[in-house]
Amino acid sequence: MRPAQDATADAGWLSAARRVPSPNCDERPADESVRLVVIHAISLPPGEFGGPGIIRLFTNCLDPEAHPYFSEIKGLRVSAHFLVRRDGELIQFVPCSARAWHAGVSNWKGQESCNNFSIGIELEGCDQLPFEDVQYLTLNHLLAELRHRFAIEAVVGHSDVAPGRKTDPGPCFDWRRVHDESR
């Protein structure tokens, strides 16, 4: 899983990830650098795994007629840098050098707008079910690569930067299985 050091990786794309570019990103502020990783959980439709919903959401191709929930989120423009599927597949939507739209209204250690200085990693999952062993394996390889490239100060959950608004990655996420020196 360890990405090779190449020009693609240097441009913010990891060669170990399948690339599915999202239009839902922009430039980071010039005075910001990556120092935080935010872990999320997502399933589309809610509680269902393996379908194309997440990719379609992040690429603005979600058909609002395909599922009743999709009509509720029609027009939503979100993304993350990475998605770890239930089978461990790693997909990258936004280069690490760009700002993905994943944390929304957020605050970490008194600094708002966490998207400015974070990498967003979505795990295909939900609050009610445990994550797969292979997801933790892929996540830990990815975190090691991100620590190699950036001065990561912390790995936190979406609920940590948006308390009261978000619950993910949820109570079934086992933080003890995450190799993170900052926790």
The question of whether 122 is a catalytic residue gets the answer yes
Determine the Cα–Cα distance for residues 43 and 54; give it in Å rounded to an integer: 7
The two structure tokens encoding residue 11? 């441009």
Determine the Cα–Cα distance for residues 100 and 28; give it in Å rounded to an integer: 9
Determine the Cα–Cα distance for residues 140 and 155; give it in Å rounded to an integer: 11
DSSP 20-80: ---S-EEEPPTT----EEEEEEE-SSTT--SSSHHHHHHTT---TTSSHHHHHTTT-----
- CA-CA-CA-CA torsion sign (55, 126, 157, 85): negative
Catalytic residue among 122, 124, 132, 145: 122
Catalytically active residues are 122
